[in-house]
A = this chain, B = another copy of it.
Amino acid sequence: MKKIQMNFHRLSKGQKMIAQYIMENYDKAAFMTAAKLGEKVGVSESTVVRFANVLDFEGYPHMQKELQEMIRTRLTTVQRIEMSTDYSNEENVVKKVLKADIDNLRMTMESIDFKVFEEAVKAITEAKHIYIVAMRSSTTLADFLAFYLNLIRNNVYVTSRSVSDIFDILFRVNKDDLVIGIGFPRYSSKTIEALDYAKSQGAKVLAITDSLISPLVSHADFTLTAKSNMESFVDSLVAPLSLLNALIVAVGIKEKRKVSTTFGKLEDIWEKYKVYS
């Protein structure tokens, strides 16, 4: 949609008609073939295809996919529940869900920006303090990341568990620090406020979210994305969790000695105080 708006002045008259139609009926347009869409608008199929090219899509299917994606995130949760009727028995449910998560992982693997990943690892290693910010179901990701980063290095704070208001921890953030904001659709305004504040204080901000059009991105210095698609009222945090695994492993390798010291200590403690069975 932004692309359409930004390129509107460059469009031919026929293309402008397509643009108009899509902006007003994107929920229908998203599921039409190029031919069908052309018919609706009153232009030829090839005009539709060129339209997609002008907007810098590799082809009509790519544009269509993005429209569908957009719809998905705009669907209310209630609508998504109505949609999820094709899980006819429980064997199918398990297979579909795990299959969807394998797809999420695969797409995440393909789209990961290794340069940004490397920067993120470096930032985690070098930051004086790390603040991890998340709300609602994403707090489980924040807690997982905090759990392991805390075993690797000190000064790791997670806002989700320890305080009722994020700012009671985050207020002290400054330019030597890293704030990791984790947010998946639907994006909590509290998380965005927190990143907004962090930036205003000069801190480095890493966003972990589902796409580059997430509202967290514009408050972040760099962004890692992982897919959270699930045709249900649940947002899958499986691929994001795997991405966190990768971050933790990579940081752990960089800080091998510290990790080794930590676990040396912990294993003494665990044995002495019988933490494990």
Interface residues, chain A, CB within 8 Å of chain B? 76-78, 81-82, 84, 87, 90-91, 93-95, 97-99, 101-102, 105-106, 108-109, 112, 114, 117-118, 121, 129, 134-137, 139-141, 143-144, 147-148, 150-151, 154-155, 158, 160-165, 167-169, 171-172, 186-190, 192-193, 197, 215, 230, 232-234, 236-238, 241-243, 245-246, 248-250, 252-253, 256, 259-260, 262-267, 269-270, 272-277
Contacts and interface: CB of A to CB of B under 8 A. Distances in A.
Copies in the complex: 4
Contacts of A273: 167, 193, 197
A28 B77 CA distance: 53
B186 A276 contact: yes
B118 A259 contact: no
Contact of A263 (B77, B148, B187): B77
Contact of A242 (B77, B167, B238): B238
A222 B81 CA distance: 29
B140 A147 contact: yes
B140 A276 contact: no
Label chain A's interface by main secondary structure: helix
A81 B253 CA distance: 8
11 contacts: A81-B260, A94-B112, A94-B114, A94-B250, A98-B112, A135-B165, A150-B169, A158-B162, A187-B276, A188-B276, A189-B276
A168 B81 CA distance: 18
Contacts of A238: 101, 105, 238, 241-242, 245
Nearest to A169: B150
Nearest to A106: B102
Contacts of A260: 78, 81-82
Contact of A135 (B78, B164, B274): B164
